[in-house]
Structures are given as structure tokens and as C-alpha cells.
Structure 1
Amino acid sequence: MDKRKVAVPLVCHGHSRPVVDLFYSPITPDGFFLVSASKDSSPMLRNGETGDWIGTFEGHKGAVWSCCLDANALFSASGSADFTAKLWDALTGDEKHSFEHKHIVRACAFSEDTHLLLTGGFEKILRIFDLNRPDASPREVGNSSGSIRTVAWLHSDQTILSSCTDSGGVRLWDARSGKIVQTLETKSPVTSAEVSRDGRYITTADGSSVKFWDANHFGLVKSYNMPCNTESASLEPKLGNIFIAGGEDMWVHVFDFHTGEQIGCNKGHHGPVHCVRFSPGGESYASGSEDGTIRIWQTNPPNHEENHSGTGNAQTGKLKASTDEVTRKIEGFHINKEGKAEEKQKIANA
């Protein structure tokens, strides 16, 4: 492979344990945002363009495995090893509701219309919560063959996608009848499943392969073998000409969608890469790692070298609290407005 331009990422510190999930919001009037899930129990919200820390959602008592933002980036949700999924106000950081489960919640996703929250986990049950009636009992969709690893909505919330931790394949459920309408067969368990923003493709990572499926007719479009066991993959949202993948070799690989040729390799993480996601405009992508950092890479890095080891100072208009109330986060500590340092509780891995 020819030597490419060296990509210098924005490095986002703050998590004290591995980063296991990332989610970008769509572009909103205030810009776009990135939420991260970590085993340190504290999901974080950032400016998606600069990586600047906006706030930390505090309240979970176990590793957080999944996170998401609604279509307007007004609310966030997270699924945790403390047997809850929580709904958060993304403007204030306040917990709006806690949805109790009987086991670890591994995955969560807002519906396209933002009125529903889908969860799945070790109970092997998909649950749909009505956010307009958060205290109402959830609707349950089918019984999965194993512990649920990923969930997503497609077809304007008419279809639900799920994969399992201990068995291959992606199951597509009719959201109304609760029955499986199609299974996308894979040899290894699917650790990442992403529906493209235009609704055309489902991108999956299973074992050492990345696959692209027709999201409407469910046929396999492309399948590529990866250089290593891959945990996550994401398709560039605008042109769809490239995709990224990350896994156990600690690198973020960039590939040509049409040929599968590797056209870039970003090095910098100091542990396996657990999640990769493109920003909504495709101009950058983020990676989360076992090393506890998030790195934001430019899709087309500049020719000249620039030091981006820190993050910018752009104002987003979405602050967790007003200036005199805001809590600064410094290397695992919180400093409150009286100036007292409060060490964060270390949460053991579930």
C-alpha cells in the first residue's frame, strides 16, 4: 500500500475505562453531537466537530454498554450493566427516566420519530418503551436466540434489527407483529450493525469480515475480509465510497467500498478499537478504544502537519448548565462550583 498523508486526530480524554460505543446525532441547527458509552459508568456528550466536552450524564452504577441521541439531539439514552436504560435531557444533563430491566442492557436505540426507545440485552428480549408514557409497561418483541448485542430501527420504524452475542446472523423483526421477517446469515456473531443514513445499506462486522446488505431487499451486496478480527465498521454517509473498520490490532482502517482495497490506516490507539462511526456529514469519523480515549479523524487529512492533540474551543450553544453552574471535568475528577474536588467512583467491569 502506498504511503498516505499522516492523519493527526483530535484526542478526546475524559473516560477512565474503555470506550465501547459511539453515536453521532444528525446535523441540527446547533451543529452535530457525539455521545460515548464507557465501562466507567458515565456517558459523555461532545461537540461532534471539535470533540469539545459538553457534559457527563451521571447516574448509572455499572458499565455503560450503549448510547444514542434522538434525531434532534435533545435527548440521549444509555444502556448499562446496572440493569437499567436511562433517558437523559441532552441540554441539561438531567436524568428524565430510568427503565428497569432484569439483566444487563447491552443495546438501545431511539425510533426515527423519537417517540420510542428500543432496548435489548442479556434477557434475550427486545423491549419498546413509549417515551410519551415512560411509566407504562413496555411492549416486548419476540424472544431472541441469545443475548442481544446490537439493535436498530429501519423502514421508518416498521422493522427492528438485532444481533446476538453468542450466535451469528442479524434478525429483522416486524415491529407490529413481533415476528422475524428475515435473517441475514453470518458465520460469526455480529458485533456491529449500522443502518446507513439514506436507508440503503446495513453494514455489519462479524469476526474478520465486514458485510454490506441491501436494507430493502436484504440481499448481500458486498463482503470483505479484514486484516484482523473486527469489532465495528461504518460506511461514509454522503457518497458511500469508503468505509472504516476497527478491531483488535488497535488501528482504524479505511477501505474503498467498491473494491475493498485498503486506502488508509490510522495508528494512535493503545488498545483494541471497540467502535468506529462516521460523522453525519462524512467529513470526519470517531473511534473509541480500550485505552479510554476517543479519537476524531479527518476523512481527508491536510497535507501539512498540524498539532491537534488538544480540542478546540468552539461554542455549541448546548451547555450542560449555565456558566456559573457548569462542572469542569479534569482527568477523572469533577470540580464543583465551590472548588472541591470529588473523585469519581470507580465502577468495576460488569
Structure 2
Amino acid sequence: GTLVPVGRQGELRTYVVCRKRFDQTVVQQGLEAGADLLLESQPTSAEVKPDGVEIEIINQRTKETRTLRSKLLIGCDGAHSWVRRRFKMGHPKEMLVGFQTEVVGYQGKERWLEMYSGSEIAPGFFAWVIPSGNDTHRIGLWSRADLLDGRTVLDCYNDLLKHPLWKDRFENIIETARYCGPVPSGMIRRPFKERVMVIGDAAGMAKPTTGGGLGPGFKQISSIADKLVQRINADELTEKDLKAVTKTSWPKMKKEQDRARALRDLLVSTRTDEELDEHFANFAKPEVIALINEIGDIEKPVPLGLALIKKVPAFRKLALQAGVKLLFT
């Protein structure tokens, strides 16, 4: 295994979010802004009418049904979006699977995020250990079903913990929680139709390089919020109207997703373990680490990827493989 220490001691590179507190705050802000919150409920049908959308929901506990009407239906309902499926809006380009635990007792470098790669622990992708404060860490990995060769992400997680190169770091951990779920990446073909729109994971907005979905989801809606409010107030919500609202930002976001995926495939997802070893040997060179520290940004990986291909001789042979999509889109 080759260690590539990116970052400088004392320099803050990114943040860790407590998702529970984050979600609670978002809900609180929504309620304060006038939103209504319906618990234990799920939709059973939705139909676009000339003057709006009619949605029928059922209370899962009481089995009571009620009908809601709105000018616009926005599906922010996750990777397996009911809204997306109901209105046949397409599928995310990739549906990956992620697994993560929360633990105490991990023996790692304080305030440093660690990443691991290789076919044994995260085929085509990577595993991570993220410090989350108070001697707690998040340990996880993600991959794609077609790369797992019949294994599960739990199998990969156990292999990560038992790997002879670093098993000592994990031997005293105590698990306090675990999570597993899909990671939809690649904006769907039709993220809007007449009076219907999907946002976030429902639209396939997770980043292809890290799997993160919060940032892209908020960027997706913040880029259109003002224009969308105007259209709602004017009741101008045809598919053509919604295309006009999104045309200056969403196609650009999709293009950035495609470029980031091409970069990920070029450097990681399509590489053998032997090729990954070569890549990391090059990453570990002082001049390359300096370049990564100068340009690298976990939120914007494409500029660094292009810089590596153009400026590092060992990676120039990848330029031809990068193709038109990565270099010129």
C-alpha cells in the first residue's frame, strides 16, 4: 500500500456535517417559513390536471386517505423516487450502493480523512474513514453492483477491517450505528414535465466522484428558486416553461457530472489493482502532492484531474483515453 498524504497540518480542507442535526434544522426552517409537514404518509396516485396536480395520499397508520391539490408537484423523494417512477421521467445513469458505520475507538490521525482503494475493499471506487468529533468516526465504502462480482458491500466492509496492511487501526472499534443505501448518480433524462419536477437524489444528482448528494441538491434548487417562484405565481408551469427556468443551470450541472464521471473512470473505476498501484506511486511524488494541495478541491475534482493529465508526465498517456467528453466538454 502507498500512502499519499494530501493537505497540510492545521489547514482546514473540508467539513463534516451531523446529518441528524442538519435534517432537524432544515425541517424547522421549513415549518417557520410556512410549510406543512405530514408524517406517516405516502402518495398513492398523482394526476396532472389543466389547472394543477391532484395527489392522493394515505396515512400508513390509520389508512385514511386524503386528496391534495397544488400548482406544481416537486419530488424530493430520494433514490427510488415515487414521483420519478409515477411520471416515467427516466433513470439515473448509475445506481451505486453505499455502506457506512459510525464507530468509536478507531486509531487514526486526528482530524484527517482517510481513503482506501482496491478491488478487495471497494471495487472501482474507494472506502473512507472520516473523523466526526468526540473520538467518533464514520467508516464506509461504495461501489457498483456489476463490479462486486457476487459479493455485498458488507463483505467488502469486513475485508477492509481485516486487511493485513491496516487491521491494527480497526481492532478496537465499537460500532454504534450502520447505514446502507443506494447512491443515484447521473441526472435523469427528463427531470421535469408539465407541473412536475424532481430534485436531488430523485433526479440523480449525487456526485460521481464522492457520492455526496446534499451539495448538488441544494445547488440544483438554488439555481432556479427565484425564477421558479415567479412561474408558480404566474401559473406558468408547462414543460416548456420549466425548461426555460432550468436551461441556464441544469444542463451545465449535467455536463459537469459527466466530466467528473469520465475522470473517475479514467483514474479509478476502470483500473486494475496494478494500475492503481502505479497511479498512487505517482500521486505520492512530492511535486504531484504539491499540485494536489494547490488545485485539489473535493467539491470540484475536474480541474485537478485535467491538471494531472496535462502536467504530470506519468499521466499524459491517459490523455488519449480521456476522450472528447473529458477534455473538451
Q: Same fold (TM over 0.5)?
A: no
- Bigger proportion of residues as strand: 1
* TM-score calculated relative to the size of structure 1: 0.28
Rg larger in structure: 2
* TM-score calculated relative to the size of structure 2: 0.29
- Bigger proportion of residues as helix: 2
